[in-house]
Amino acid sequence: MAPPGPAGAHPTSAEPLSRSVFRKFLLTLCSLLTSLYVFYCLAERCQTLSGPVVGRSGSGEEAGTPGRGVLAGGPGELAAWPAAARRKRLLQVRPRPRRRPPSQRDDREEAAGEEEPPGLAGSLGGSGAGSSVAETPPGTLALLLDEGSKQLPQAIIIGVKKGGTRALLEFLRVHPDVRAVGAEPHFFDRSYDKGLAWYRDLMPRTLEGQITMEKTPSYFVTREAPARISAMSKDTKLLVVVRDPVTRAVSDYTQTLSKRPDIPSFESLAFRNRSAGLVDRSWSAIQIGLYAEHLERWLRHFPARQMLFVSGERLVRDPAGELGRVQDFLGLKRIISDKHFYFNQTKGFPCLKKAEGSGRPHCLGKTKGRPHPEIDAQVLRQLRDFYRPFNRKFYQMTGHDFGWDG
């Protein structure tokens, strides 16, 4: 028998057992800490573990020093933020691109760069589904907490292609009470057979008091769209961005030319008989600009008070002023103002100082700003003569002279 060890000494057989228990404790503790760290990362608190949610003003700017996340100083500072901004912050903690079916991705790629704002070689707008600006889906934290719900849109930008619809949508998304799907759904013209449940599922989550929106410029010229949208909801508010139809047609042609350099000249497509001045109304670039004819179909299903016609030209010259009209029409508090815009000398049009979900200045798309081909001045005069009676009728129907015939 082995002699006993010194008094008070532990048996040697117990030492490995103690180390094993200690190692298990350390592993459990590390796992717990890792889980907590991952949760805080998902909640966008990796760098702010010791404070509350990073503050963001209703304008989309970070509270405190511009360009940096700043911890809220306490209840007083939290109370200073607009309530809608705090709600939106929860919904948009960390935007992530949503995986879409191949058919929708194809639509978005095909239409990318399609819209542009007026007067600037198509630099700002977008009929392109998502264009150069990706859709901002619900934030990770909102999904974890199951906050908000998906609603059918209460407002839709229905047109027009090459009018500046992408610019309008992106400017509106700065507002904390506007939630919009970035990619064009094309539900009421291409995917109506998929049903309203499919359409609703495309929409972002919203909280009470927020507006769900989408834009698909081709709706304005789709014959079935007015009845279909009315069947969804007769209270839907409709926005139409309109632009000088001659400039719009040239911009439309410019986009097609960038994709298919071998297409015929603008003049040959615009006229059936150039010498006789006979314009080819069947060409889509010409047909879209017959605003009065398209509007007649919409007025059979919606009263004029539910439609707002946004000047594409003014959207470039005075974006804050035109956005003021839009916010009033949608029943929103006037939050988007001059402080949200700056004029980009290089691109030649206004850009956002800070886009939604970002602390950096933002201008839309490198494809926005293609130079227009040189068109014979006589061709442009003939087209203005062609559009003049349609424009005047449109002015009467809307009660606004857009000044395209000067």
The rounded distance, in Å, linking the Cα atoms of 130 and 399 is 32
- Please tell me the predicted confidence (pLDDT) of residue 35: 82
Give pLDDT, residue 341. Answer: 87
Q: What's this model's pTM, rounded to 2 decimal places?
A: 0.66
**251 marked as binding residue:** yes
SS3 label, residue 48: coil
Query: Per-residue confidence at 268, pLDDT binned at 50, 70, 90?
Result: very high
Q: Which of residues 300 and 43 earns the better pLDDT score?
A: 300
The reply, when asked if residue 195 is annotated as ligand binding, is: no
Residue 372 annotated as binding site: yes
Averaged pLDDT, 183-202: 98
Please check whether residue 233 lies inside any domain of the structure: yes
Q: Is 243 annotated to bind ligand? A: yes
* Alpha helix segments (H runs only) across 233-374: 245-259, 266-270, 284-287, 291-299, 312-317, 319-329
At 162 the pLDDT is 94
Look at 64 and 185; give whichever has higher pLDDT. Answer: 185
Comparing 217-221, 341-345, 393-397, the range with the smallest average pLDDT is: 341-345
Q: What pLDDT was estimated at residue 41?
A: 65
Phi, psi of 381 (to 5 degrees): -65, -40
Number of domains the chain is built from = 1
Quickly state the pLDDT bin for 43 (edges 50, 70, 90): low
Average pLDDT of the segment spanning 126-140: 38
Query: How much is the pLDDT for 359?
Result: 63
Tracing tokens 């933020």 back to the chain, one arrives at: 81
Write the DSSP symbol of residue 353.
S
Q: Report yes or no on 29 lying in a domain.
A: no
Q: Give the per-residue pLDDT at 367.
A: 59
DSSP notation for 26-92: HHHHHHHHHHHHHHHHHTT-TT-TTSSPPPB-TTSPBSSSTTS-----SHHHHHHS-HHHHHHHHHT
Phi first, then psi, for residue 213 (nearest 5°) are -135, 160
Q: Is 225 a member of any domain?
A: yes
Please determine, for residue 289, whether its predicted confidence score (pLDDT) is greater than 70.
yes
**Residue 131 known to bind ligand:** no
State which of 103-112, 131-140, 250-259 shows the largest mean pLDDT.
250-259
CA dist list (Å): 203 to 92, 114, 227, 366: 14, 22, 21, 27
Mean pLDDT (whole number) for 395-405: 96
Residue 403 labelled as part of a binding site: no
8 Å CB contact between 170 and 117 = no
Residue 88, domain member (yes or no):
no
Cβ atoms of 256 and 263 closer than 8 Å? yes
Tell me which residues are annotated as active site.
162
> Domain span at residue 204?
149-398
Give the domain CATH number at 355.
3.40.50.300
- 130 is annotated as contributing to ligand binding: no
| Residue 180 scores a pLDDT above 60 | yes
Q: What is the DSSP letter of 189?
A: T
Q: Which residue has the higher pLDDT, 86 or 125?
A: 86
Query: 83 or 127: whose pLDDT is higher?
Result: 83
Is 12 annotated for ligand binding? no
Whether the predicted pLDDT of 331 surpasses 80: yes
If pLDDT is split at 50, 70 and 90, which confidence band does 159 have? very high
Q: What average pLDDT score do residues 281-310 get?
A: 98
Indicate whether 351 pLDDT > 90. Answer: no
Q: Look at residue 19 in the predicted model and tell me its pLDDT.
A: 78
Is 261 a domain residue? Answer: yes
The fraction of the chain above a pLDDT of 70, given in percent, is 65
Q: Residue 143: beta bridge partners?
A: none
For residues 44-65, give the mean pLDDT.
38
The answer to whether residue 36 scores a pLDDT higher than 50 is: yes
Q: Check the annotation: does 165 bind a ligand.
A: yes
Higher-confidence residue of 399 and 13: namely: 399
The predicted structure's pLDDT at residue 206: 97
Q: Using pLDDT thresholds of 50, 70 and 90, give the confidence band for residue 57.
A: very low
Residue 11 inside a domain? The answer is no
* 79-88, 170-179, 263-272: the lowest-pLDDT one: 79-88
Q: What is the pLDDT of residue 86?
A: 46
